[in-house]
Amino acid sequence: MVRSPGKRRRRACGLAVVCALTAALAAPSAYAAQPPQSHAELTVTGQETQPVFSRADAVYQQVDIRTEVDSDGDGTRDTVRMRILRPKETDTAGLKVATIVEASPYWAGGNDVPNHGVDLDEDGLPAKRQQDAGKPGLTGPAVAYSGYYDNYFLPRGYAVAQVDSLGTGGSTGCPTSGGRNETLGAKAAIDWLNGRAKGWDLDGRPVEAGWSTGNAAMMGISYNGTLPTAVASTGVEGLKAIVPISGISSWYDYYRANGGVVAPGTFQGEDTDVLAKYVYSRADREICKPVLAALERDQDRVTGDWSPYWAERDYLKDVRKIKAGVFVVHGLNDWNVKTKNAGQLWEALKKNHVPRKLWLHQAGHTNPMPLRMEEWLRQVHHWFDHYLYGIDNGITKEPQVDVEQADFSWRQQRDWPAPGTRDTTLRLHADGSLGRSAGPATVQSLTDAGRTVPAEQLVTSPDAANPHRLAYTTGPLDRDVRLNGVPEVDVRSSLSGTSPYVTALLVDYGKDTRATSGTVTDTTQQVCYGEGVPGLPGETGCAYRTRHATQSADFKIVTRGWLDARNRDSYARQSKVVEGREYRLRWDLQPQDYVFKAGHRLGLVLISTDYDYTLRYPAGTTMTVRAGAGSVTLPTAPATR
């Protein structure tokens, strides 16, 4: 589950600036000793807003906002519920503030929902129904005002708000896993802050946002990081900045890949209908059942073809409309929302000249804030100050990209992929080697066992014979090789059997200790970054640092990619695969920034079924590859350590 840094049950502690850290912080609370005084305007010192407003005295407000849609078909436009905390001076002194909004389907929790069966019979029909219930991949915060936005930003003159996505919590309408109605539901919050949408308090009395400047930001992780991009892509006025963390830019690339039905990591069998059923938490539990049934029908798990269903959930086509500064954040070890979602958003922002910034870190589907707390807060704070309050603090003149290296140091650069990146093509040889020159066109084959064997077992010992994979490796590298972008595989291949899937795995072979997707809480290092609220459990304004979880192993699967061979010509439509006939198959792997160290070997492993990601047809499909006619192309950048 993705959560913002937890609020610990400790005494209130907050500092006027982020605390300088030692191994453990136990200094008395600066806020407790010198509580903020009443101010009628922002205080800006050193080109940044200062913490002069009281989190403890904040005004709490709830409002139901009318949207543009009637997704539940009851004849009344849907409403979204927004919960707002804002400085008391917005009521007592006429202060107008900008708002940081986090829209989410998770605030009211979720339901136990079984995933789809992924083991298929010879005809491609489910062999059995999986009954293991679990939370869908896009999990998120479920506790009101968890995290740090209120403690850090409200004292600096921001309102913070949570919005229940349609079909969840106090909102009406129906959840649709990225559908247009959800986008317009969250957009209504920005419209209300700008006086363009009607709102009512919980007693039904009209209420307006007279305290709002109209300027807003959206921010969040996972689903909560997807909605900011969705709303920004409408071009809504007043949304000045977004920070999508581990967010989706196209839902096709969350649940599909190159014509294949592909799961988010660790959530095999999940799909849009499962996720929508999970978050469906509004009071009326019957009205959305027809909508949920339509999701299950229209998403199409028989094929992974692109369709109008997925086009509706693609935000990339509307990137040109974005008027907000976009701060993209993603984990290089995130196999839930895969890195393609960040990489293709970044390229689209670049193409359309949208103001942008990028963080790539070594963790997985998580919040980077506790990994690099002071610098994270500085950059996000300056991002919001600049775009919401017009402060010229130099944030847009800094290097656009921060990338965390394998040793957990950080590199700044002006773009991603790194300047100087060039394609390097390595060709597959019949002796199992990868090299620059082409070799004899020799046909090799494997027998699919992926239904029963995970890929991590199939890539081991690349020099040993294994009938269920084809492995190709370089010799020991004489220098570091920095992969920087999207690898592509190009092979002549045939399939004979039931599985249409081909999978490519790019592997780093060499004993090493590497980052995994996880993080570990360091309870010896607590940081007090904002104002706490004495007597309110969980509201301390403090959080523990985290560090990366690591694993020592002989190899690591660096990135992977999938293709349904029936979609070799187009991921929008299938073409027949004739058994035994060779086809040219080309597909992309997930973008990556990774250094293969000198002395290690770089490997490409080809299999059919990928146990943890693709649909699983009966084992036994024969896949051939014509060595000498196949290659992998790697975007490589100058590597420095």
Positions marked catalytic: 222, 334, 365
Task: State the CB neighbour count (10 A cutoff) for residue 411.
Answer: 14
Query: Residue written as tokens 């006429």?
Result: 94
Q: Which DSSP string do the residues of 191-216 spell out, in sequence order?
A: HHHTTSS-EE-TTS-B---TTEEEEE
Give the Cα separation of 609 and 450 in Å (integer): 5
Which tokens sit at 497?
């059997």
Run of H or E residues at 582 = none
Count of residues making up the chain? 641
Question: How many CA within 13 A on the CB side of residue 433?
Answer: 10
- Three-state SS for 429-460 is CCCCEEECCCCCCEEEEEECCCCCCCHHHHCC
The residues near 461 (Cβ < 8 Å, ≥ 6 apart) are none
Strands 325-331 and 356-361: parallel
Strands 481-485 and 622-627: unpaired
Q: What angle do CA 95, 100, 103 make, to 5 degrees?
A: 135
Contact 253, 276 (CB under 8 A): no
Name which of 595, 412, 456 is nearest 514 in CA terms. Answer: 595
3 state DSSP class of 323: coil
Name which of 209, 215, 192 is nearest 90 in CA terms. Answer: 209
Give the Cα separation of 139 and 419 in Å (integer): 35
Q: Is 439 exposed, middle or buried, given 0-12, 13-18 or 19+ CB atoms closer than 10 A?
A: middle
Which tokens sit at 96?
């107008």
Measured over the CA atoms of residue 563, residue 566, residue 569 and residue 573, the dihedral's sign is negative
What is the crossing angle of helices 180-193 and 223-232, to 10°? 70
